[in-house]
Amino acid sequence: MDTASDDIRNGLGRNLTYGLLDLLGKQIVTGAFEANGFPTEAELSEGHGVSRSVTREAVKMLTAKGLLSARPRQGTTVQPVSAWNLFDADVLRWLLERKFSVELLGQFNQLRAAIEPAAAALAAVAADDKALALIENGFARMAAAERGEDDVLDADIAFHLSILRASGNPFFAQFRDVVATALRTSIRLTNRIKGRTADLAAHGAVKEAILARDPDTARAAMSAIIGDVMELITQTG
């Protein structure tokens, strides 16, 4: 058996099921089953040295994510990309890990441009004291990261997620896993291009506008941050 299968049996990830899920998910998005089709449950169990129940659960989870379709007498087949749940954090992570794609990052930031400025404007109006404290804490972490006292990626992501939560809109808050997953790749790219960490002053402008209960300025400040990212991505492409 191959090394990947050994990793699964040793408990890759949270457990055997998630180890197999992660391996198969990556294989699906890289087109590993395009030529010969998706293996049967028996073939997966034998090939990876796991039980039928583990295999069945992993396939069920991939089906729920839109990557597979299981029909009577037709077996299990890989679904077209149009059917995949792109808002699922695992699916997005597999796509980003598949092959670096400037186009995919650009599309993600187009989504950010539609959501995050509106979330910042809503936060300026709707955020309660607890939500404002989380935004201030996120910005404080970014400042600490500039001094080498916190993780740059984690701090930046925490700031953006705090604004989604502070918007008071549960639909915006549901984007947190997608934003966290894709921002991690996006921030790595833009920081590498710029040779520095995130623009602290630009993020501070968003924070101050929200604290001042100024939705228009908060919207514009967040739009400026994402616009800067889009420009860098365009230059890379």
For the beta carbon of residue 116, count every other beta carbon within 10 angstroms: 24
Of 72, 44, 63, 56, whose CA–CA distance to 17 is shortest?
A: 56
pLDDT in tens, 197-230: 678 999 999 999 999 999 999 999 999 999 988 8
- Considering only residues 183 and 156, tell me which one the structure prediction assigns the higher pLDDT: 156
For the beta carbon of residue 85, count every other beta carbon within 10 angstroms: 13
Question: What pLDDT, on the 0 to 100 scale, is given for residue 54?
Answer: 93
d(CA 170, CA 21): 28
Question: Tokens 């808002």 identify what position?
Answer: 87
Name every residue whose Cβ is closer than 8 Å to that of residue 31 and which is 6 or more positions away in sequence.
Answer: none
pLDDT in tens, 1-41: 455 555 445 544 458 899 999 999 999 999 999 988 999 99
Question: What pLDDT, on the 0 to 100 scale, is given for residue 13?
Answer: 42
Name every residue whose Cβ is closer than 8 Å to that of residue 168 and which is 6 or more positions away in sequence.
Answer: 122, 123, 126, 127, 131
* CB-CB contact of 142 with 156 (8 Å): yes
Helix (H, G, I), strand (E, B) or coil at 1: coil
Supply the pTM of this predicted model: 0.79
Residue-range domains of the chain with CATH: 3-83 (1.10.10.10), 100-236 (1.20.120.530)
pLDDT in tens, 30-79: 999 998 899 999 999 999 989 999 999 999 999 999 999 988 877 899 99
Half-sphere exposure of 212 (CA within 13 A, CB side): 12
Give first-to-last CA distance, the chain, whole Å: 40
